[in-house]
Structure 1
Amino acid sequence: MDYNFTATDLDNFTATGSINGPVLAAVFALEAVVGFIANIIVLSITLYQRKPFKQPSTIFFTSLILSNLLDALVYLPMTTVATGAEEWIFGSTFEQRKATCLFSGVIFWFILYVTVAVLAAISFDRCLFIVKPYFYKRFMKPWVALIIAVIPWMIIALIMMLPFVGFGEYGYQFDYGPCYITFENNMGFVIFRFATLFTFIIVIIVTSIWTFCFTRRFIRDQSAIAGESVYHVKKMKLFGIFGSMLLAYVICYGVSITIGIISAAVTFPHEVYATGMFVFQFSIIATPLIQSYFRPDIVDSLKSFKNFVYTQIKRQRYSPPSPIRLQTQHKF
């Protein structure tokens, strides 16, 4: 595949602008480390208990955790090193740098698409659970949820590989640290990609509105029968884990996407793009924290661990002295 680049384009892999590379790299590294620790804790608890995997929702939430780990272990480390070095250093020749740069850019888009696709699956799962509970119990088995969770990863991987087999074409852009891919010479591929992304977003919007309207009506009808009650606070739980995660992703992704859209008409300084990337990557920290707050299996495990640590500390602090220690003190 001909990218129409020459050896003189090696200069394009050197950072431009006034951004302090080492400082920004430290910020990205902090996000990667904290995100990795938070996600690996949630994943470890889930794998250790095993029982939560009998719930389809756990499979979808775990798929999000795996997407976050891919970001923390592959994309962010490459971006952090390049930002700190103020140069794309992965590769000794132009062809090698071009290949690793494109790989990094494809991973970025892959993570974005997988995340949105899994959110769409969670939204559909929640909608079916609330609107059609009997059908949900009969249809949504763990193996069905696993298939639904795996399919987006496979489809999106195939979509991302299309330019490498002749459908569409990738270019690259490197300014201050992250490598971005650009789309060239095939508008059909661009339209297909974004149509796929918008389809996932439409599924989220439609199923979320349907779920909210149905649940709101159900609570209203029950309230009319039961009268005023303290149980009205349950309305607050309509937002729940999915609403919290969706809000987190809208904020984290929305800032970066808004900057990208506006930049088509307005040229921003690199500091603005760097801020957008920082907010974008914060999602890998927000997601496991939200799951730790809402998922009963994670909450119970964390509470048990907290109580265990507290008990051990208390035991060490207030334990009576041993006979050997008493004899030693008596001699003195």
Structure 2
Amino acid sequence: MPPSRPRYFKAPAPPRAPAHLPPTSFDGMEAGLRSLSLVTVCEEAQCPNIGECWSGGTATVMLLGDTCTRGCQFCAVKTSVAPPPPDAFEPLRAAGEIVKWGVDYVVLTSVDRDDLPDGGAGHFRETVENIKSASGGRMLVECLVSDFAGNLTSVDHLAKAGMDVYAHNVETVPRLQKYVRDPKANYEQSMRTLARAKRAGVYTKTSLMLGLGERDEEVEQVMRDLREIGVDVVTFGQYLRPTEKHLSVVEYVSEEKFDYFRELGERMGFRYVASGPMVRSSYKAGEYFLTNMIKKDRG
């Protein structure tokens, strides 16, 4: 680990109200999620931006439970080869709560569920359809999903469900995949997933963590590979070690380097590039941009 974290790797604490004062918007979001037993990646993955997003009325809802069938070396989510079965009522319950938020854009994600025949694609599809129905088609839906163990039929089933943005993270450069991700995942499988989703006619998005020992030329090659298959949006953020049991940070990437990759991505033709130390896959500024971009594209 580097000796210290730079000062620009800071995020404000969630704004909670004292017991004798009215609840903050953060408190209200937390209470709504708790009342319906909804899980969020914001909490499970220990996202540093939880205060900003929940205060703004959005959260990234994690479907299919809180236990993953994979054990990636960077992730704080708990794992098991046999997690509890999915809640059959979750797609309806989650859609009902999400529509109450009154937002234009929502992100759904999940743990990997290699124990399910379709990897959970049907569960996602049902949730998307319920959100679209309950919001009258108004709400835009992004699904940040696994590679479904390479099952392209599952990719097709979800991508054609009426969702708007299909997101799947390649996470890191090819050389580091075997050290960072679970053996069930790999770079080629992720690229096939994104290419297949793009052919279904949806916007596609991916994310890379920096600070794991990647070289600039490796990141640049990944960006070229992504453009070749038509990926629309890419985000770059700093990897932060969730616990001492997880991968060490190799370096804290400079703000100037994040700016470099953002400018390079824009020159390459990505529709949107978010690049900064605290940027994560579900990034609020990115949601605002995508909302406006999609609405403009659709007239």
What is the TM-score when the length of structure 1 is the normalising length?
Answer: 0.24
Higher strand residue share: 2
Give the structure with the larger helix fraction.
1
TM-score (norm 2): 0.26
State the structure with more CA Rg: 1
